[in-house]
Chains A and B, each alone.
Chain A
């Protein structure tokens, strides 16, 4: 029995494909550099104010929509969320100082201590989704391989939280665009190994920062899909960025109270 030439060629091509060398592994130094770059690209060094839109969808319920301002002073690890729309939610906020996360309700004048796992405004957003990442500081990274995400070539990394660090999720899987080092996809995993959320960041923008003396990158669109409650999702759009220095006393309860009064 003789094989036809076309079939022989196909087999040869398949054998060649199978025999192709695997993607080069990211060595420890290279991996460290990649994770440090992810942090550094989003690092601002100075003050940060962003006008955001947040929309949460829950199965069988009406959409929850917010307009909010996110303030950051990264060098002091301070953060403040101030809701501005809808009217009934305006003036509510969150204040983070060190490891304290406070929520404020202007209609009752009450401050409540919350945890890192707080669902911001009842959505699937966590506080650290809108803060400067500290992946190198909080996690230990491992390279799992390279693959494709849509048309993009990506590194797949697994980050495991370092002992004693309080973060929203102890394990995070990242899909990082090889060409630009933008994070395209992230999966948050609970300690039990259960997949909790999948986040997509398909659009990245850069803005010149005077305090950094360089460019700061931020995800313009963040889509978070709940993997436990299928059908629940949150969309965050970062619409405007203001990098002027913030008031010195902005990250205080008194300041937020004054804005809500």
Chain B
């Protein structure tokens, strides 16, 4: 035992002497080893931190630890959407049963029902929106509501629409000056102008109340179409048991407004979605410029994109002008004149707005504040606001289009990842509204459709057989009919009898009603997330025993492409490390072979005085392993220093949506893991020993005779 220790000490002394004697060689090999260790430690630390961030983002926003969906589904579940849009999932027809079975699995704490889909929200053009509100006021007044509040609202709305007509006439008047009024469409243009002139005339508004509905139809059909904007937008939502959702997903929070009352219908609109798609374009561009300046250090003076946004804001005043009613326009003028100083004292509102938005780096911050402090309170900053009732429309699974009205109770965001659109685009809606939109084909409905089909005796005809069947000479091409007397009252009688008796928006649903019915997937929150694999097996077994046909997947698989991103990063890092160490292996090997050839005499002498081949082999390996270990430790230390430096510099900023989501915050703050250090040391020592093995074999074969025959 003592002999072995002595031999080891001798080996180490010889190794260190040799390393010290060949400083250049040692430095080259050491630098390579150090670089490798640094790369592994820093890379693994960053990857582990991203992995942790992604886990937080996915598990805390939509994923939970596990997800279940019908195993017979055409697609795999992708919570954040796939390349082909939303996953086509077979519905879980009775969520209550799934909840009951899975809740009984020991490590399952909560089962949250979900249905993710996209739908259309009609935003209309600005005229359509204003006229729709005026129509609602007209209905109230025509319905007999003569309260001062109703009449005041009605008159204010009329004044607003009248101002909008005036603005539209001004705009089209300018276009008219360059339009071809003799061409084919001249008659249409003349008629449009006559309509606008009529709508802008005092007499039209003085007589508006004589035929409210008639005048509304005139404005809706002859004037609103001239405002070429607006339409509809798509919204991505998850229909869920909203209370359970907020209990399960800790990152979810109501950013503005209030929580949907327990058991009620309603929607929380994704805050990030609202910022990107629903916000007044001028305000959105101001936010983007501010973000670029404050967080990215960009400057209007030398950034073409920021200059373009400033130009677009200066030119695009229509949305703001159309929003303001006469009193608001007057107030906005007064406020802007005060805020923009003496040079603006005599300017009209369009010029004031252009001046406000015409900002450079010196004036931007002040103009930004003026906009939000003075002007924004007079404007609707978002197409959809808290408290609005919006209509959502989607193609239902039955093939028909379904629509629901839902109240917007607030905006939802996910803490830490507020700036990311991956989760932030998602709105959260109650499960009953989701089920109405989803439109599952019930047995009763299928029977009704079948009866309608049978009543007309329609026959199917395949495309390829159509011409032969229809024109082959089988039937008469012409015939005669007799006029009928069609009574729509009779045809619609069924519908009247079938109408719901209550207003669904005010109804409170019980937990049993929420659970009973269709869901598309469900998130499972575990008591002990570290027992994920084991619980996954238990959940699958419970589902199979109950015949639920469920597929159980973990959060990473459920997140689809997003979840694969870290795997991709890992593959890239590992590939880089493998390439690096393959090159290192060749370089170290060459250096060591050269060193061995230079030391033939020394090795021969050692062999002559009794050193065994094994001793020579061990000597060479200890030498290279010592370099690997020493410089590996130094490299790992440097890697640790790198991690500290990144943290000290405020982390790696998340410059995109995806990074914000993966970092689970605005910046990645890497942490040094003991595992990363250990892995890096093991890797560099193994690579060093491998690269020194061939030279060691060469050295082992040196005999004293060969050594003596060698010339210096």
Contacts and interface: CB of A to CB of B under 8 A. Distances in A.
Contacts of B472: 150-151
A111 B132 contact: yes
B391 A110 contact: yes
Given A86-B445, A243-B483, A100 B221 contact: yes
Interface residues of B, number: 64
Nearest to B494: A87
A58 B476 CA distance: 29
Contacts of B393: 105
Contact of B484 (A63, A67, A208, A240): A240
Q: Which of B213, B468, B486 has the most CB of A within 10 A?
A: B486
Interface residues of A, number: 78
Interface string A66-98: 010100000000000010111111110000011
A62 B446 contact: yes
B480 A203 contact: no
B445 A69 contact: no
Main secondary structure of the interface of B (DSSP, over half): mixed
Contacts of B466: 200, 223, 225
A64 interface: yes
A65 B441 CA distance: 13
Contacts of A253: 135, 213, 216-217, 220
B491 A62 contact: no
Contact of A151 (B391, B471, B479): B471
Contacts of B391: 105, 108, 110
B481 A205 contact: yes
Interface in A24-72: 49-51, 53, 55-58, 61-65, 67, 69
A56 B399 contact: yes
A61 B449 CA distance: 14
Contacts of A136: none
Interface string A107-147: 11111110000000110000000000000000000000000
Contacts of A149: 467, 471
Contacts of A231: 463
B400 A121 contact: yes
A241 interface: yes
B445 to A, nearest CB: 7
A164 B473 contact: no
Nearest to A179: B477
Contact of B461 (A53, A112, A205, A223): A223
Contacts of B184: 162-164
Given A122-B399, A204-B477, A242-B483, A237 B456 contact: yes
B452 A242 contact: no
Interface of A: 49-51, 53, 55-58, 61-65, 67, 69, 82, 84-91, 97-100, 105, 107-113, 121-122, 149-152, 162-164, 177, 180, 182, 184-185, 198, 200, 202-208, 220, 223, 225, 230-231, 233, 235, 237, 239-244, 252-254, 259-260
13 contacts: A49-B486, A53-B452, A56-B399, A61-B399, A67-B491, A82-B488, A113-B124, A203-B478, A204-B477, A205-B478, A225-B466, A244-B483, A252-B217
Given A63-B399, A152-B471, A202-B475, 9 more contacts: A61-B399, A63-B449, A84-B492, A113-B125, A121-B400, A150-B468, A184-B471, A200-B470, A203-B479
